[in-house]
Amino acid sequence: MTILFASDLDRTLIYSKKSRGHEISEHDLAIVEWRENNPAAFMTKEGLEIFKELSSSIEFLPVTTRTNKQYERLFGLYNPQEKPTYSIVSNGAVILENGRPIPEWSDKVKEQLEADCTSIPHVLSQIEPYIQRGSILNSLQAENWFAYMIIDEGRFTVEDFEDLSQLFFKQGFTLSKQGRKLYVMPNCINKSLALEFVTDRLEAEIVIAAGDSLLDLDMVLGADYGFIPQHGEVILNNRALPSHVQITDHTGVLAGEEIIKKVSEICYNMYE
Ligand SMILES: [Mg+2]
């Protein structure tokens, strides 16, 4: 039986210094990413150990909004030679098979972007007033797929988020705020469609999915078992969730460990 564990990475399994919380000592943390010689992302040592053990009984599928280049910085996540066969990066615009993008998948996404008129220039012209006001500090692009912004958290209000959400919703985008980053994501670039593709390829019978943000919600809802960290954007939005979706008891990096432990339990019970 093939069990697929599809998980978002940042703020679900791995945590920055800012998002990891204060309930755990430095000593109990493992570094999974280095950026310019500085540790940038962490898991608990215990969580990482169980995670690595899991790879013998489960197909792990990272499903991240990171681009391939940003994803490749996660040196500490896998044992050498144990990288997953598939990885979903750029929020589902790119599926990697043994480290190489599957061209027919990305071509299909590109065609859809053009058909939906959900291109980056279209987004940038509309956020200009927010940049002038100083609530959006900078806009960036993820390899021509989508735009994301760095916001001034003190100036960017809940109303700003709601106004922009409504404006872009009508045009076929989903907005997601993750710390200082604001994503304006075309609906045709989504994690759950890419997950469906990989589920079929692997002929997986059971899908477990985890994620913290609004960009993860469809994937988590569509899985057989879903996990959302308590600090997740989805929880803050007070959405009603079906019974197959569990919210963690912990927040921060400990929520990541909790998810890994629960996935490990599910696996154990399945194979028993
Ligand atoms: Mg996340």
- Please tell me the distance between residue 211's alpha carbon and the centre of ligand 1 in angstroms: 6
Q: What is the Å distance from ligand 1's center to 218 Cα?
A: 13
Interval between CA 186 and ligand 1 midpoint (Å): 17
The pLDDT of 193-219, averaged and rounded, is 97
Ligand 1: centre distance to CA 38 (Å): 21
Residue 232 has pLDDT above 90, yes or no: yes
Q: Where are the domains of the chain?
A: 3-109+189-271, 119-186
pLDDT in tens, 73-130: 998 999 878 899 999 999 999 999 999 999 999 999 999 998 887 778 888 889 999 9
Q: Distance, CA 107 to ligand 1 centroid (Å)?
A: 25
Spacing, Cα 12 to ligand 1 middle (Å): 5
Neighbours of 126 (CB within 10 A): 13
- 269: which DSSP letter? H
Query: Is a pLDDT exceeding 80 seen at residue 272?
Result: no
What is the 272 CA–ligand 1 centroid distance (Å)? 32
| Share of residues in the chain with pLDDT > 90 (%) | 86
CA of 135 to the centre of ligand 1 (A): 22
Cα of 138 vs its chain's centroid, Å: 21
What separation in Å is there between the alpha carbon of 185 and the centre of ligand 1? 14
What's the DSSP call for residue 242?
-
> Tens of pLDDT along 51-60?
999 988 899 9
Q: How many CB atoms lie within 10 A of CB 30?
A: 19
The answer on pLDDT for 234 being more than 90 is no
Parallel, antiparallel, or unpaired for β 136-142 and 94-97? unpaired
Q: Does domain 3-109+189-271 have CATH number 3.40.50.1000?
A: yes
| In the predicted structure, residue 242 carries a pLDDT above the cut 90 | yes
* pLDDT exceeds cutoff 90 at 174: yes
Supply the mean pLDDT for the chain.
94
Q: What pTM, to 2 d.p., does this model score? A: 0.94
CA 264 to ligand 1 center in whole angstroms = 20
